Amino acid sequence: MLSPKPKFLGSKLALISRTRPFVLCRKLSSVPSKPFTVLALESSADDTCAAVVDSNRKILSNVRIRQHQLHESWGGIHPAVAILAHQRNMPVAVKRALEEAHMNVNDVDGVAFTRGPGIPGCLAVGCNAAKNLAAALGKPLVGVHHMQAHALTPILTTPPDSIPTFPFLTLLVSGGHTLLLLASSEDSFTILATTPDESIGRTIDKVSRMLELKWDDVGPGVALERFCASQGESRVPEDFTPFPRPMPGKLAFSYSGFHSSVERYLDRIGGVGNLVEEEKLGIARAFQTAAFEHLEGKLKLAFRWCQKRGVEVKHLVVSGGVASNALLRMRLATCLEEVEREVGLNVPVVPIFPPPALCTDNAAMIAWSSMRRFLAGDYDDYTIAPRPKWSVEDINTDAPDVLWGQQLSKAS
């Protein structure tokens, strides 16, 4: 027997699919005199996050508890280890978020969480915690699409006179995704390019591990960025095969060949221990440059795609964990200048990068992405389940209950 719907929902038809009405983020006409306050939870991968954000775009707290040290010995995220860590850390994250916001849990107006996509068991920890909190407190509940939240982060963090205007392009680069999207509105996204194999973030992590870089408490991606930015001479070994330029002329990413090039070379020379330090640094820098050039090439194709269809884009939003990379930010700004000259755009394109702390997984973006639905009175049932596989083009169409179990089994 299903648990009852929360009393504030009223009567609602149980549909196999539904399309939800959304309120424009920048036209919050329904904002009450007292700001609406959301407590949000994020646990889609290996960071346990909680945050409190209000409808006036104020981040009252933003807590993230990392797990990098737990996963370093495994060479990547171990789902079972991550799930147990989330179970330990989530109560602590929630307590800290409320304390830093100087709030009592009863002061919260709504509870939000990352519904998907992500690692099934990790999503379940945040989902169950949010449902239990909302049900116990009698508060409304909203599940959020993780990549939508990344795309909308600049609407939370950018000054009011610089907020991106729709339509805009958004480049989402992380450990789980490499997506180039056309954002037509807050809840309407068209995928222009994705990857059939590896994401850029996962590829960076793999190369970092192959080069045996120390993670410390920052993870393999940041470790590689810091290594590349370190002082010292570097040179690429003469017998190293140049990195591939996959899918030329196509709006599609492919990163599997990048880490395969490093892996094959290290196998051929008998391991990373046979590289001198300047060769190791040379390979790392060459890899990072090639990986970013691949993004830049597809970005230029996307602007040509928009121009041919009469879509005028004035902003490029770059988010996701890889977007915190300082070199990537600099290169993409230069790339947009090249786009204006090569494509012949009528208006300059402004790059928008969230603060580095809000590029990686965080709960503040989840809270803000849920705000429109809270203000519109569009809440989720307490019976809601995670969606580990969930296309950003399919945000508004819900899946029937019977499919949720199938999604979990396929994703695990």
Task: Verify that 66 and 88 share a domain, yes or no.
Answer: yes
> Is the confidence at residue 29, as pLDDT, over 70?
no
Task: Verify that 392 and 274 share a domain, yes or no.
Answer: no
The pLDDT value recorded for residue 33 is 73
Least confident range from 56-60, 136-140, 164-168, 341-345: namely 341-345
- The residue-averaged pLDDT of 192-203 equals 95
User: 2 in a domain, yes or no?
Assistant: no
The pLDDT value recorded for residue 15 is 29
Q: Which two tokens stand for residue 217?
A: 């408490």
Q: Name the residue with higher pLDDT: 131 or 220.
A: 131
Task: Verify that 171 and 269 share a domain, yes or no.
Answer: yes
Q: What is the DSSP letter of 343?
A: I
- The residue-averaged pLDDT of 365-370 equals 98
Task: Verify that 297 and 221 share a domain, yes or no.
Answer: yes
> Is the confidence at residue 246, as pLDDT, over 60?
yes
DSSP per-residue letters across 222-241 = HHHHHHHHSSS-----TTPP
Cα–Cα dist 378/330, whole Å: 40
Task: Verify that 285 and 406 share a domain, yes or no.
Answer: no
> Is the confidence at residue 79, as pLDDT, over 90?
no
The pLDDT value recorded for residue 346 is 80
User: 1 in a domain, yes or no?
Assistant: no
**What is the pLDDT of the chain when averaged over all its residues?**
88
pLDDT-derived band at 216 (thresholds 50, 70, 90) equals confident
Beta strands, E only, 178-249: 178-185, 188-193
Q: How is the beta sheet containing 58-65 ordered, strand by strand? A: 58-65, 48-54, 37-42, 110-116, 141-145
Task: Verify that 197 and 258 share a domain, yes or no.
Answer: yes
Task: Verify that 377 and 284 share a domain, yes or no.
Answer: no
Task: Verify that 143 and 120 share a domain, yes or no.
Answer: yes
Q: Name the residue with higher pLDDT: 347 or 92.
A: 92
Residues above pLDDT 70, as percent of the chain = 86
Q: Name the residue with higher pLDDT: 3 or 196.
A: 196
- The residue-averaged pLDDT of 140-146 equals 98
Q: Identify the CA nearest to 106 among candidates 80, 130, 138, 148.
A: 138
For residue 379, give the CATH number of its domain. Answer: 3.30.420.40
pLDDT 10s digits, 52-77: 999 999 999 999 998 656 555 545 57
Q: Name the residue with higher pLDDT: 79 or 199.
A: 199
Give the pTM.
0.85
DSSP per-residue letters across 249-275 = TSS----HHHHHHHHHHHHHHTSGGGS
Q: Which two tokens stand for residue 168?
A: 């805009």
Least confident range from 51-55, 212-216, 228-232: namely 212-216
Distances (CA, A) of 33 to 117, 173, 187, 377, 379: 34, 37, 26, 16, 21
The pLDDT value recorded for residue 17 is 33
pLDDT-derived band at 8 (thresholds 50, 70, 90) equals very low
pLDDT 10s digits, 382-402: 999 999 999 999 998 775 544
Say how many domains are in the chain: 2
- The residue-averaged pLDDT of 91-97 equals 98
- The residue-averaged pLDDT of 358-363 equals 94
- The residue-averaged pLDDT of 190-208 equals 95
Do 386 and 120 contact (CB within 8 A), yes or no? yes
> Is the confidence at residue 30, as pLDDT, over 70?
no
Q: Of 357, 372, 403, which residue sits at a domain end?
A: 357
Task: Verify that 210 and 345 share a domain, yes or no.
Answer: yes
> Is the confidence at residue 311, as pLDDT, over 70?
yes
Query: Residue 179: phi, psi to the nearest 5?
Result: -130, 135
DSSP per-residue letters across 288-304 = HHHHHHHHHHHHHHHHH
Q: Name the residue with higher pLDDT: 234 or 8.
A: 234
Q: Identify the CA nearest to 16 among candidates 346, 412, 402.
A: 402
Cα–Cα dist 276/280, whole Å: 6
Task: Verify that 330 and 185 share a domain, yes or no.
Answer: yes
The pLDDT value recorded for residue 9 is 37
The pLDDT value recorded for residue 72 is 59
Q: Identify the CA nearest to 314 among candidates 169, 171, 214.
A: 169
- The residue-averaged pLDDT of 274-291 equals 98
Domain that holds residue 187: 164-357
Task: Verify that 241 and 113 share a domain, yes or no.
Answer: no
